Amino acid sequence: MPIVRTPEGMRDRLFNECALRREQETELRVLFEHYGFSEVSTPILEHYELFTRTGSPFSEETLVKVIDRAGRICVLRPDNTAPIARLAASRLQNEKLPLKLWYQQPVYRVVGGGCAELPQAGVEVIGSAEDTEVLKLALEAVRVAFRKEPHIEISHAGILQTLISDLSPDSGRAEFIHSLIERKNFSALGDELPDARDFLALLRLSGGAEVLDEAERTIDIPLIEPLNELRALLAALPSVTVDFGMAPAIGYYTGVFFRGYVDGAAGAVLTGGRYDRLLAPLGRDVPAVGFAIHQETHVPGRRRPC
């Protein structure tokens, strides 16, 4: 009987798991509120257009859809940034900037054959052009959430955007190139872009501040501004490194973006960055930056069952 089972991809959380989650939530709350962030919560259902109009990087088939009474398509929120941007452009439109908001609520995406419920906690700073404080908070949030030292890598969306448009492929091909960069598939990239040796050399660069000088030497297109932004961040946060071989969905991030890893987790436990074009389609053209901690990422040895 299906009534005694959860739908595919969904699961119950029992006892100790709930206790650990609450503990993690409490510690993150203390941290975020200490830094002057206020908690918000948004509904689980949002209009489909909220995500398509703001350029969210989720393809149609990853969204969990519901039809409302008027026949309009709603989705279970696939991320927290667009709903909070909507809030900033509507009920909070007369509040003084910057708005410093934090949240703790799951997102829902189609994964494999079912819908996955993925708990997230994070912050959004709306109406600020400053990245250092957010990145510093991201480092601390990973430490608090996973009790491990994070490894955070940063890059700048403007760099890839400038270089790919300079190679002038059509948008379909640019997307394909992005997917090859994300997989670090350099043999296929070499076949795809046989004349772009400098570009490919840049994508392989990763490391500390010395990498930024090397990038400046490698590329003859002016990228001074993005490189200087990265330079300032590395100077303020010496444990952070640069990886020019990161290529998130085209057009979502507009400036600095970052990903965080901890020992034992299979993927990034932290993602974030600057998205200055997200709010304009909602009627409030202000810059914004934020990050999300992916709480469910399995990290062995974080906390043992009591």
Partner 1 sequence: MNTPIRFALAKGRLEKQCRALLTRIGYNCAALEDPGRRLLHTLPHRDPGRAPLEAVLAKAPDVITYLSRGVCGIAVAGKDTIMEQGGPFYELLDLKLGQFRFALAAPAGSDFFEGAEHRRVATKYPCVARRALAAQGIDAEIIRIEGSCELAPLLGLSDAILDIVETGDTLRENGLVILKDLMPLSARLIVNVAAYKLRRKEIDLLVEDLKGVIDNANDR
Residues that bind partner 1 (CB under 8 A): 151, 153, 183-188, 206, 243, 261-268, 298
* Residue 55 or 207 having the CB closest to partner 1: 207
Is the Cβ of residue 98 or residue 245 nearer to partner 1 in the bound state? 245
> What is the side-by-side strand order in the sheet with 270-274?
38-39, 99-104, 120-126, 288-294, 270-274, 256-261, 151-156, 241-243, 206-207
- Contact at 8 Å (CB) between 192 and 176? yes
- Which amino acid does the sequence have at 131? D
160 CB-near residues (< 8 Å, 6+ apart): 178, 181, 247
Query: Which two three-digit tokens encode residue 129?
Result: 């052009």
Residue 162, CA distances (Å) to 156, 157, 299 in order: 11, 9, 37
- Rounded Cα gap, residues 171 and 77, in angstroms: 27
Q: How far is the CB of 182 from partner 1 (least distance, A)?
A: 8
Q: Considering just the CA atoms, what is the radius of gyration of the chain in Å? A: 20
Shortest distance (Å) from residue 187 CB to partner 1: 4
Minimum distance of partner 1 from residue 172's CB (angstroms): 12
Q: Residue 248 carries which side chain, given as an amino acid letter?
A: P
What distance in Å separates the CA atoms of residue 195 and residue 300, rounded to the nearest whole number? Answer: 44
Closer residue to partner 1 in complex, CB, 74/269: 269
* 136 vs 263: CA distance, rounded Å: 19
3-class secondary structure, 285: coil
Q: In terms of CB distance, is 103 or 291 closer to partner 1? A: 291
Q: Judge whether 131 and 255 are in contact, CB under 8 Å.
A: yes
Tokens of 213: 């000088």
CB of 111 to partner 1, least distance (A): 11
- What's the closest the beta carbon of residue 207 comes to partner 1, in angstroms? 9
Q: What's at 58, amino acid-wise?
A: F
Q: How far is the CB of 86 from partner 1 (least distance, A)?
A: 28
Query: What tokens appear for 191 in the block?
Result: 């076949």
Helices 171-182, 157-167: inter-axial angle, 10-degree rounding: 130
- 219 or 265, CB closer to partner 1? 265
27 or 243: CB nearest partner 1: 243
Minimum separation from the CB atom of position 266 to partner 1 (A) = 3
Q: Please report how close the Cβ of residue 179 comes to partner 1 at its closest, in angstroms.
A: 11
Residue closer to partner 1, measured from CB, 76 or 262: 262
Q: Is 199 or 261 the residue whose CB approaches partner 1 more closely?
A: 261
